[in-house]
């Protein structure tokens, strides 16, 4: 309840499949209405007397009845436009992808995946987001230390291009980031991906303003 409204996460392939299903279903409704309500009524109005082998002779043709039957018939005929087996095939393909992911040698870590003498690799717990993983460029990990009151001190930061930006002990003690900042700014001008990385860091961090009231003293705090 504290989290507010919950948004269900679905993969991009399922989102696209749902759009296709909705469009196809709307197309079916439009086509069957045109075929049954307009085409069938016009056909019976013009040709009902010629089809004596269909309509009872000497009786007035019940257009509402035959129009409803025609609508149901067209619904069954056009029902194949909704690819219900597509969702099933996507799930089967993801199960196949899971086998390859769990047996991928690049998904093993020699440092962290040894448990009780056995090499433990990737274990897939959810098959809904496979295709979305390829869109990930940067992973951010944050340790807040809310309960333990841990003091986080910046030491260094490393990137995939083997560049490491670090602070000396003196710079850490004085909170002096000038040398590292100038080096980072110079690299941002040369490397577009490096520039996008820092934009991601800036955009993914949220700042919330908290107003506290202690008796008659108002305390403003930013975190």
Q: Of 82, 84, 78, whose CA–CA distance to 33 is shortest?
A: 78
Query: How many Å from the N-terminal Cα to the C-terminal Cα in the chain?
Result: 23
112-156 tens-digit pLDDT: 666 556 677 777 887 877 777 777 777 766 556 555 566 666 677
User: Tokens at residue 114, please?
Assistant: 């040894």
Asked if 44 and 66 touch (Cβ cutoff 8 Å), the reply is yes
Radius of gyration in angstroms for the set of CA atoms belonging to the chain, rounded to a whole number: 32
Domain positions in the chain are 12-82, 86-135, 156-222
Q: Is the pTM above the cut of 0.75?
A: no
3-state SS of the chain: helix, strand, coil percent to 5? 50, 10, 40
The neighbouring-strand residues paired with 164 are 158
68-79 tens-digit pLDDT: 877 888 788 777
């Amino acid at each position: 309840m504290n989290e507010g409204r919950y948004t269900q996460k679905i993969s991009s392939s399922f989102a696209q499949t749902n759009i296709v299903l909705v469009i196809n279903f709307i197309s079916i409704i439009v086509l069957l209405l045109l075929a049954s309500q307009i085409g069938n009524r016009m056909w019976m109005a013009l040709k009902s007397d010629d089809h004596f082998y269909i309509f009872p002779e000497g009786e007035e043709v019940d257009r509402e009845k035959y129009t409803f039957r025609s609508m149901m018939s067209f619904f069954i005929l056009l029902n194949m436009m909704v690819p219900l087996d597509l969702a099933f095939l996507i799930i089967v393909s993801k199960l196949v992808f899971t086998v390859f992911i769990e047996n991928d040698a690049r998904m093993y870590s020699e440092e962290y995946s040894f448990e009780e003498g056995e090499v433990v690799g990737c274990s897939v717990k959810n098959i809904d987001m496979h295709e979305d993983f390829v869109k990930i460029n940067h992973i951010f990990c944050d340790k807040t230390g809310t309960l333990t009151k841990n003091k986080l001190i910046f030491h260094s930061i490393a990137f995939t291009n083997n560049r490491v930006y670090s602070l000396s002990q003196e710079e850490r003690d004085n909170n002096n980031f000038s040398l590292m900042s100038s080096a980072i700014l110079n690299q941002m001008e040369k490397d577009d991906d490096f520039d996008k990385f820092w934009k991601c860091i800036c955009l993914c961090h949220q700042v919330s303003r908290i107003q506290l009231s202690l008796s008659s003293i108002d305390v403003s705090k930013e975190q």
